[in-house]
């Protein structure tokens, strides 16, 4: 099939590359010429494991192209995915300006039947707005081309995006139109061969499903983070509690890790947008309001622990920070808890020596205005003369570090373990003061 993705970011690029992998002819359009230049020169503008080889293979096979040429891109696809950003507006609602601009650009050019797919995460009712924007543009130029608008939210996770797309848990298609549904079924058939994972529902339910999924996952995390705060007070270990409750299949083990708070380009903005939709309809979403508040507080938990240990005035103190990306296996810094933590520590006068395996370039752009931050090429280079090590993101390379070196290089062996990477008993045996999240006892030496 002929497919176009409008927007070549995390979602558009992964969608385009994976659809090309199944034999479709895909054109990825973006308004950012730099992104398209990098792709056309064989580079990948984001860090996403496995994506480079899928892109290279399909470009070489002539099935995947990148362009800024809107005419050519709209003309190419029979199925057009809108995969542009939907960032939070000032009031927390999803800003639809990019989605509607994409819709208009389609309406201004289309001459034959198209299926227009809302892949971006968009509030209930957006398909109607996309439909109206296209209709208006067609009417303006007296064109009569027919089209269908369907919703097909994306559930991929950064860092595992290619796998998630190639082996989806489910594919949700919101469609009121039989022809469009048949085309979506055909497009996704290669991804659901072992058993049918494609669910067709009405458009509004599909749009709502995406927010419900992210809101549920964010709720689990905030819930565990809140229990972790209490576990510390009562002397329980949240890791043992996690295993204890996760063994119940009704609960399950995933997304129950207490930590330094959730970040990323999705949970924070999608929780906000759903709360905002609730408000619009006179429905106060009390649980989700609390999920957001709890996460705001959680991003400060490591800072509170540092302040409790070293005092409110951190002038003259230096901290090694390991892990800057909002989670491992990505260079995405959007809403990363590290940003809040670094901002709060430097505001109190501390100097930061920061390291991340892949997000340094992104992080240095975002943190360029903060003179208190320096970047280190290797994790251990951040340690010398630091008063403590603060771990914010659980990259694999931090799981088994050289503890002797940590002890030798830090001014005193103090570790703030924001992702519960290390067992408190091991830290105690090693003589390392270990401040974890919700693990009952802090191993404070001396
Ligand atoms: P992104 O910022 O990485 O990419 C969006 C791209 O769209 C940018 O490159 C931008 O230049 C381009 N763009 C904007 N307007 C355009 C236009 N009119 N024509 C062509 N290109 C245009 O965003 P993303 O992370 O890929 O997210 C896209 C959508 O998918 C959002 O709604 C997001 O909530 C949703 N989503 C994201 C993820 C994720 O993990 N990142 C997962 C599921 C869903
Ligand atoms: C999320 C959804 O998982 C995905 O389905 C959706 O399509 C996009 O949003 P993503 O933002 O890429 O994906 O990352 P995810 O793995 O969900 O992690 C989000 C945040 O939650 C990270 O900051 C992570 O550190 C945090 N998290 C996750 C926890 O704090 N504890 C957990 O148990 C799991």
| pLDDT (mean) for 131-152 | 97
Residue 445 clears pLDDT 60, i.e. is over it: no
pLDDT band at 193, cuts 50/70/90?
A: confident
pLDDT of residue 81: 98
Q: What ligand 1 atom has the least distance to the C-alpha of 122?
A: 32
Query: Could you give the CA distance from residue 78 to residue 27 in angstroms, rounded to a whole number?
Result: 11
71-120 per-position pLDDT tens digit: 999 999 999 999 999 999 999 999 999 999 999 999 999 999 999 999 99
Q: What ligand 2 atom has the least distance to the C-alpha of 257?
A: 33
Q: What ligand 2 atom has the least distance to the C-alpha of 332?
A: 12
Assign residue 308 a region (left: φ > 0; alpha: ψ between -120 and 50; beta: otherwise): alpha
433 lines ligand 1 (CB under 6 A): no
pLDDT band at 194, cuts 50/70/90?
A: confident
Distance of CA 262 from the midpoint of ligand 2 (Å): 7
Residue 253 clears pLDDT 70, i.e. is over it: yes
pLDDT band at 229, cuts 50/70/90?
A: very high
Distance of CA 275 from the midpoint of ligand 1 (Å): 21
Query: Could you give the CA distance from residue 237 to residue 223 in angstroms, rounded to a whole number?
Result: 15
pLDDT of residue 446: 47
Active site residue 266: yes
Candidate of 11, 164, 222, 255 to mutate for ligand 2, largest count of ligand atoms within 8 Å of Cβ:
255
pLDDT of residue 150: 98
Distance of CA 255 from the midpoint of ligand 2 (Å): 8
Q: Which residues line the annotated binding site?
A: 30, 35, 86, 121, 155-158, 210, 255-259, 263, 269, 327, 334
| pTM of structure | 0.96
Residue 259's alpha-carbon distances to 46, 222, 295, 328, in angstroms, are 25, 9, 10, 13
Residue with CA closest to ligand 2 atom 5: 155
pLDDT band at 406, cuts 50/70/90?
A: very high
Average pLDDT, whole number, for the chain? 97
337-374 per-position pLDDT tens digit: 999 999 999 999 999 999 999 999 999 999 999 999 99
ipTM over 0.85: yes
Per the CB < 8 A criterion, the answer to whether 276 and 92 are in contact is yes
List of domains in the chain? 2-201 (3.40.50.720), 211-296 (1.10.1040.10), 299-435 (3.40.50.720)
Residue with CA closest to ligand 1 atom 29: 120
Residue with CA closest to ligand 2 atom 9: 266
pLDDT band at 196, cuts 50/70/90?
A: confident
How many CA atoms lie within 13 Å of 138's alpha carbon, on the beta-carbon side? Answer: 19
The proportion of the chain whose per-residue pLDDT surpasses 90, expressed as a percent, equals 98
Query: Could you give the CA distance from residue 5 to residue 47 in angstroms, rounded to a whole number?
Result: 19
Q: Which DSSP symbol is given to 237?
A: B
Candidate of 84, 162, 209, 266 to mutate for ligand 1, largest count of ligand atoms within 8 Å of Cβ:
84
Residue 254 clears pLDDT 50, i.e. is over it: yes
The residue among 113, 129, 104, 102 whose CA lies nearest residue 6 is: 102
Query: Could you give the CA distance from residue 234 to residue 256 in angstroms, rounded to a whole number?
Result: 19
Residue 386 clears pLDDT 50, i.e. is over it: yes
Residue 440 clears pLDDT 80, i.e. is over it: no
267-304 core/surface letters (b: 16 or more CB in 10 A; e: else): bbbbbbbbbbbeeeeeeebeebeebbebbeebbbbbbe
Distance of CA 143 from the midpoint of ligand 1 (Å): 29
Side by side, the strands of the sheet bearing 318-322 are 373-375, 351-355, 318-322, 388-391, 414-417, 433-435
Query: Could you give the CA distance from residue 40 to residue 416 in angstroms, rounded to a whole number?
Result: 43
pLDDT of residue 443: 57
Residue 1 clears pLDDT 60, i.e. is over it: yes
Q: What ligand 2 atom has the least distance to the C-alpha of 214?
A: 2
DSSP 97-145: HHHHHHHHHHHTT--S-EEEEE-S---TTHHHHHHHHHHHHHHHTT---
pLDDT band at 398, cuts 50/70/90?
A: very high
| pLDDT (mean) for 283-306 | 98
pLDDT of residue 183: 98
Directed axis angle between helix 97-107 and helix 126-140, to 10°? 40
pLDDT of residue 195: 84
| pLDDT (mean) for 228-244 | 96
Residue with CA closest to ligand 2 atom 14: 157
């Amino acid at each position: 099939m002929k497919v176009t993705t409008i927007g070549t970011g995390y979602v558009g690029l992964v969608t385009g590359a994976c659809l090309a992998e199944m034999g479709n002819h895909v054109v990825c359009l973006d308004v950012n010429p730099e992104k398209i230049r990098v792709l056309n020169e064989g580079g990948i503008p984001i860090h996403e494991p496995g994506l480079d080889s899928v892109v290279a293979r399909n470009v070489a096979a002539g099935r995947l192209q990148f362009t800024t040429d809107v005419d050519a891109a709209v003309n190419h696809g029979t199925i057009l995915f809108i995969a542009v950003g939907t960032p939070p507006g000032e009031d927390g609602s999803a800003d639809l300006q990019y989605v509607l601009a994409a819709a208009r650009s389609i309406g201004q050019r289309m001459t034959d039947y198209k299926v227009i797919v809302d892949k971006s995460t968009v509030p209930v009712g957006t398909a109607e707005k996309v439909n109206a924007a296209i209709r208006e543009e067609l009417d303006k130029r007296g064109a009569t081309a027919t089209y269908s608008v369907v919703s097909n939210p994306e559930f991929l996770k950064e860092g595992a995006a290619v796998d998630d797309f190639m082996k989806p848990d489910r594919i949700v298609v919101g469609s009121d139109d039989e022809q469009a549904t048949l085309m979506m079924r055909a497009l996704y058939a290669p991804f659901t061969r072992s058993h049918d994972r494609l669910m067709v529902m009405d458009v509004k339910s599909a749009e709502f499903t995406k927010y419900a999924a992210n809101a549920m996952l964010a709720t689990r995390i905030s819930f565990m983070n809140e229990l972790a705060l209490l576990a510390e007070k009562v002397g329980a270990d949240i890791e043992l509690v996690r295993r204890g409750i996760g063994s119940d299949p009704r609960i399950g083990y995933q997304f129950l890790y207490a930590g330094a708070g959730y970040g990323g380009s999705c949970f924070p903005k999608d929780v906000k947008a759903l709360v905002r939709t609730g408000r619009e309809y006179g429905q106060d979403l009390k649980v989700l309001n609390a999920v957001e508040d709890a996460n705001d507080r959680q991003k400060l938990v490591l800072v509170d622990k540092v302040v409790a240990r070293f005092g409110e005035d951190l002038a003259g103190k230096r901290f090694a920070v390991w892990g800057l990306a909002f989670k491992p296996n990505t260079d995405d810094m959007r809403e990363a808890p590290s940003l809040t933590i670094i901002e709060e520590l430097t505001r109190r006068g501390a100097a930061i020596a920061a390291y991340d395996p892949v997000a340094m370039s992104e992080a240095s752009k975002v943190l360029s205005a903060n003179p208190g931050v320096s970047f280190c090429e290797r994790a251990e280079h951040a340690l010398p003369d630091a008063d403590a090590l603060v771990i914010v993101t659980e990259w694999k390379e931090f799981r088994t570090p050289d503890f002797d070196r940590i002890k030798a290089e830090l001014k005193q062996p103090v570790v703030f373990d924001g992702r519960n990477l290390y067992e408190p008993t091991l830290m105690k045996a090693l003589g390392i003061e270990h401040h974890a999240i919700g693990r009952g006892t802090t191993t404070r030496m001396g």
